[in-house]
Homo-oligomer: A and B are copies of this chain.
Amino acid sequence: VTLRTAFTELVGVRHPIALAPMGGTAGGALAAAVSNGGGLGLVGGGREEVDWLERELRIVTENTSKPWGIGFLSWGADGHVVERALEYGPAAVMFSFGDPEPFARVVRASSPTAKLIVQVTDLEEARRAVDVGADIVVAQGSEAGGHGGSRATLPFVPAVVDLVAPIPVLAAGGVADGRGLAAALALGASGALVGTRFQASHEALVDAEVVKAILNGHGEDTERGRVLDIARRSPWPERYTARTLRNAFVERWRDRPDELAADTATLDDYQRAASRGDMDVVAVWAGEAIDLITEAQSASDMVGTMAALAEESIRHILEP
């Protein structure tokens, strides 16, 4: 038995699980592994160079015959790169954080088949997703790792479901196991988009130290803020803060973002420390659900396990 939803039907996957297109982390190998496991793998277009993206898109096409996709940042994507990516034949293209309208037009003009996924962090963005003709809406809560907004997943998802119906919704933020997936479905979502859990997989492009920090960390060790974006001289829009593991650098600068931005010497030091992987400064993107992540696995196995446990969790409610 499998959990069939509007999402699994629309994109033709077995399980209602999508990989969050984590920039730099969700490469072709991870996306292919998630797709081979029965979910929808999404390569993280993020802020990477087009050469990186094309290499990862070749890897995903060579490693799976199942549907897969790509995710871009609406505030930072380049229409030509999106067009180029579409030539690799993704089943879905996702846009997050910013106005998706220009890219929605690119996708519609360039591909007759690619589904348009739009991620939203508040109700206004959800309305905009409907306006631009999204095929799938991702409602992302603030417990998500990495960048996001300020709504919490549990009350936000049903509000988005009601607002965008009948467009299928994926829940994102705080889902790291079968129970979280079951909860997403109970809230009326057609599946879940999962990030941090897949960071702790064999196929993710992450350092071993980062995986170790995620496996050992707790939700209370994470926080949202702008300090690490400022430190990285990253041009993320202010409204999208990032959830990371707390570290010495965050503790030091949390309350002084403007001072940090103006302190060139500290920013240069940061860059040097980050590039040698100093865990006191690097941004370990991590969602609040890391309490539930205790071992690294193959991403393909994670998909099947999560789906099976979600179904078990749901059946258990009716037959305790």
* Chain B residues positioned under 8 Å from A315 (CB to CB): 318
Could you tell me if B151 and A220 are in contact, using CB atoms closer than 8 angstroms? yes
Q: Which of A200-228 contact B (CB under 8 A)?
A: 218-220
Number of copies: 2
Contact A174 B154 (CB under 8 A): yes
Q: Do B143 and A152 touch across chains, with their CB atoms under 8 A apart?
A: yes
Find out whether the CB atom of B155 lies under 8 angstroms from the CB atom of A292.
yes
Q: Which residue of B lies closest to A185 (CB)?
A: B317
A111 sits at the interface (CB 8 A) = no
Cα of A171 to Cα of B198 in the assembled complex, Å = 26
Which A residues from 1 to 45 make CB contacts under 8 A with B? 3-5
What residues of chain B lie closer than 8 Å to A56, measured between beta carbons?
none
Interface contact B123-A159, CB-CB below 8 Å: no
The residues of B that contact A219 with a CB separation of less than 8 Å are 123, 151, 155-156, 159
A187: chain B residues within 8 A (beta carbon): 179-180, 182-183
Looking at chain A's contact residues, the main secondary structure is: helix
In the complex the two chains form, what is the Cα distance from A85 to B225 in whole Å? 44
Kindly list chain B residues whose C-beta atoms are within 8 Å of the C-beta of A152.
Answer: 141-143, 152-154, 173-174, 288
Query: Out of B155, B174, B185, B314, which one reaches A155, CB within 8 Å?
Result: B174
Distance A314 CA – B317 CA, assembled complex (angstroms): 8
- Residue pair A154, B143 in contact (C-beta under 8 Å): yes
Q: Which residue of B lies closest to A313 (CB)?
A: B186
User: 10 other contacts beyond A159-B289, A186-B186, with CB at 8 A cut-off?
Assistant: A143-B152, A152-B153, A152-B173, A153-B154, A154-B173, A180-B187, A183-B183, A183-B184, A311-B318, A318-B318
